[in-house]
């Protein structure tokens, strides 16, 4: 078994939780109804299941390779990328005027999940290209858009993001790459960029590098960073490719996972200067980069969902096949499939519950993004944009942190076989480990959640979401059964804990920043657990209504929601305790560095 896209689960979330119906009433999205969504998902599932998923293990065994500056992708990737591009999959959510399909982000998000579930390494190339497209659409000139965007959408070219330098990881204030104006509107760039995903490869004719650099006399720190576009091959007036530009891949990294995705060290300007053009205004590069990053962060969150689902599918299949030991309740004298053993079920249920909750939260976020872009009412747009932006660091941070636990459980379900590389479970565990790191570590996401998303508006968005959670808790009370009782109890407790922590963060970030930031990641996880639990509660309500239509499917939704309530939501109070106890500053923050 490889990967089967969970289309029914995806459509359930889109319909019941993310309100696809309402989104299909927005201007420009009139065709984006349930039928369209289903058709798109089915096509995407074919490509992902049949072409990309089988290449995943191949990429792990035969990583992209570097020789004399040339990077060759894993055998099969180039042809697969051609199929991906020809199917129009790069353009799902991009504007029709640039040859995109103009579909809602909600539908695109399901496609992105499939892409990542089937092949995390492969999916990174379109992920970065999406970021480049977003940045160009936001800040590029018309000519730049016309030159680059259709080529990026068609897959003839791909895009990259060049932020990190050897001395500047998360801290972009330290960027040193310089851009010297040539007097003709172009610049020459000089510097070294590291960790550039798909920074060099042979799957496309050209690569559009988006690069952060400093112009002469730019202010120090992040206010002196500009964004440039530096193509691998220069582009002639007529759009054809010209000379090779002076940007070269000097090595690629030897990594724990996502081995098929080349992680390049790029050298700009070692042979006279890499020719680039400014995107938008000088010194506003960080702002534009954040546009790319918000899209990319959300997409990395989807990587967490995707790899979690893949690991779950593999573990569930193994647990159904592998026969070992008699059941603990004595119901059979012979060994049974290990899925009958309670702890295996607990592990699979944990994997499944975390995957479904993180999927639901992400899709709901995508729906808010669509409304934020297309709603006719400006106030509505702003309101939904604020919710989307609040959710992005949570989707990114929580889905990816969860994916570590989920893929680790996936190995555990396989027992000793899980540790053998041939089995394949270990690859997900290795691949997933980068997700809470790149595009901003979980701590960076948590800082964003505290600073820009919670404190800046005095907790307004957070509290509006908490009020919605409370409403859902109210609805649970009207229903019968243990699933509702557990969800009501633990979601209410979680809602209270998250509320207390939001108050704590708003009240103390200025006065006692170390105490608040010591609880930053626990706050992010708490928000993920409670808001994910909220979606599971909404799923529970929806599934209970439809149960008679399809006992198999909706019964599983109800059981999974109950499991989430009883096994995941109780962590909320523990996280609250750890966060608010930091107040006062005693404890570990008081130690000197050399006591570690």
Residue numbers 224-253 binding a copy of itself by CB under 8 A: 253
Largest CA distance in the chain: 84
Positions 90 through 149 that interact with a copy of itself (CB under 8 A): none
Positions 256 through 315 that interact with a copy of itself (CB under 8 A): 256-257
Q: Please state the φ and ψ torsions of residue 349, each to the nearest 5 degrees.
A: -65, -35
Tokens of 547: 């149960």
Positions 471 through 490 that interact with a copy of itself (CB under 8 A): 481-483, 486, 490
Q: Segment near a copy of itself (CB under 8 A), from 40-48, 81-89, 441-449, 539-547?
A: 441-449
Q: Does 492 bind a copy of itself (CB under 8 A)?
A: no
CB atoms within 10 A of CB 401: 22
Compute the least distance from the CB of residue 82 to a copy of itself, in Å.
Answer: 29
* Residue from the set 426, 461, 501, 502 that interacts with a copy of itself by CB under 8 A: 426
Distance (Å, whole) CA 117 – CA 94: 22
Q: Does 219 bind a copy of itself (CB under 8 A)?
A: no
Using CB under 8 A as the binding criterion, the count of chain residues that bind a copy of itself stands at: 103
> Can you give the three-state secondary structure of 535-588, one letter per residue?
HHHHHHHHHHHHHHHCHHHHHHHHHHHHHHHHHHCCHHHHHHHHHHCCCCCCHH
Total length of the chain: 596
Distance (Å, whole) CA 285 – CA 179: 12
Q: Does 573 bind a copy of itself (CB under 8 A)?
A: yes
Site string for a copy of itself, 164-183 (x = CB under 8 A): x---xxxx-xx---------
Of 309, 477, 321, 454, nearest to 391 by C-alpha is 454
* Residue from the set 69, 242, 342, 458 that interacts with a copy of itself by CB under 8 A: 342
Q: Does 160 bind a copy of itself (CB under 8 A)?
A: no
Q: Does 571 bind a copy of itself (CB under 8 A)?
A: yes
Of 134, 278, 157, nearest to 211 by C-alpha is 278
Q: Is 176 helix (H, G, I), strand (E, B) or coil?
A: coil
Q: Segment near a copy of itself (CB under 8 A), from 44-52, 121-129, 359-367, 520-528?
A: 520-528
Contact 138, 171 (CB under 8 A): no
Residue 463 or residue 583: which is nearer to a copy of itself going by CB?
Answer: 583
Compute the least distance from the CB of residue 454 to a copy of itself, in Å.
Answer: 14
Positions 357 through 416 that interact with a copy of itself (CB under 8 A): 404, 408, 411-412, 415-416
Site string for a copy of itself, 527-556 (x = CB under 8 A): -------------------------x--xx
* Residue from the set 107, 110, 211, 344 that interacts with a copy of itself by CB under 8 A: 344
Residue 107 or residue 348: which is nearer to a copy of itself going by CB?
Answer: 348
Tokens of 94: 């991009």
Residues with catalytic function: 439
Tokens of 340: 């009958």
Q: Does 255 bind a copy of itself (CB under 8 A)?
A: yes
Residue 337 or residue 475: which is nearer to a copy of itself going by CB?
Answer: 337
Compute the least distance from the CB of residue 186 to a copy of itself, in Å.
Answer: 31
Report strand pairing: 247-252 vs 157-162. Answer: unpaired
Of 518, 423, 501, 427, nearest to 463 by C-alpha is 501
Distance (Å, whole) CA 544 – CA 476: 11
């Amino acid at each position: 078994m490889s990967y089967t896209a969970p289309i029914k689960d995806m459509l359930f979330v889109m319909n019941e939780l993310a309100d696809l119906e309402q989104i299909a009433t927005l201007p420009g999205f009139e065709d984006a109804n349930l039928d369209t969504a289903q058709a798109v998902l089915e096509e995407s599932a074919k490509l992902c299941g049949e072409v990309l998923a089988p290449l995943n293990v191949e990429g792990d065994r035969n990583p992209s390779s570097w020789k004399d500056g040339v990077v060759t992708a894993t055998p099969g990737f180039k042809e697969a990328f051609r199929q991906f591009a020809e199917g129009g999959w790069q353009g799902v959510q991009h504007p029709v005027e640039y040859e995109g399909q103009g579909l809602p982000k909600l539908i695109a998000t399901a496609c992105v999940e499939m892409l990542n579930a089937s092949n995390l390494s492969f999916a990174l190339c379109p992920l970065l290209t999406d970021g480049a497209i977003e940045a160009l659409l936001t800040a590029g000139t018309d000519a730049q858009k016309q030159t680059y965007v259709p080529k990026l959408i068609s897959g003839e070219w791909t895009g990259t993001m060049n932020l990190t330098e050897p001395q500047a990881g998360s801290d972009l204030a330290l960027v040193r790459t310089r851009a010297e104006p040539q007097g003709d509107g172009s610049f020459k760039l000089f510097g070294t960029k590291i960790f550039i995903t798909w920074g060099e490869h042979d799957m496309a004719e050209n690569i559009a590098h988006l690069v952060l650099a400093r112009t002469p006399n730019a202010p120090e720190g992040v206010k002196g960073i500009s964004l440039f576009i530096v193509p691998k091959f220069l582009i002639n007036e007529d759009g054809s490719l010209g000379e090779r530009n002076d940007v070269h891949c000097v090595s690629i990294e030897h990594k724990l996972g996502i081995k098929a995705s080349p992680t390049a060290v790029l050298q700009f300007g070692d042979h006279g200067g890499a020719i680039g053009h400014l995107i938008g205004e000088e010194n506003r590069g960080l702002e534009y980069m954040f546009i790319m990053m918000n899209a990319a962060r959300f997409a990395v969150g989807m990587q967490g969902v995707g790899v979690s689902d893949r690991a779950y599918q593999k573990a569930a299949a193994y647990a159904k096949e592998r026969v070992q030991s008699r059941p603990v309740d004595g119901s059979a004298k012979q060994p049974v499939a290990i899925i009958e053993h309670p702890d295996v079920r607990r592990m699979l249920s944990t994997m499944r519950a975390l995957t479904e909750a993180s999927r639901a939260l992400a899709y709901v976020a995508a729906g808010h993004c669509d409304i934020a872009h297309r709603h006719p009412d400006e106030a509505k747009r702003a309101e939904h944009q604020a919710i989307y932006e609040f959710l992005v660091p949570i989707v990114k941070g929580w889905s990816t942190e969860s994916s570590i636990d989920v893929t680790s459980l996936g190995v555990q379900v396989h027992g000793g076989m899980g540790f053998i590389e041939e089995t394949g479970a270990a690859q997900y565990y290795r691949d997933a480990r980068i997700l809470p790191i790149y595009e901003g570590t979980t701590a960076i996401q948590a800082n964003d959640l505290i600073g820009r998303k919670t404190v800046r508006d005095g907790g307004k968005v957070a509290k509006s979401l908490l009020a919605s959670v409370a409403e859902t808790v109210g609805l649970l009370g009207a229903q019968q059964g243990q699933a509702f009782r557990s969800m009501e109890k633990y979601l209410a407790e979680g809602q209270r804990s998250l509320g207390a922590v939001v108050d704590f963060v708003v009240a103390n970030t200025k006065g006692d920043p170390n105490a608040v930031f010591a609880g930053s990641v626990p706050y992010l996880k708490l928000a993920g657990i409670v808001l994910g639990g909220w979606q599971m509660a909404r799923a529970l309500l929806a599934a209970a209504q439809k149960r008679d239509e399809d006992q198999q499917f909706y019964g599983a939704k109800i059981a999974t929601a109950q499991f989430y309530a009883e096994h995941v939501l109780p962590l909320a109070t523990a996280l609250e305790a750890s966060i608010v106890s930091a107040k006062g500053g005693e404890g570990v923050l008081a130690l000197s560095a050399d006591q570690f």
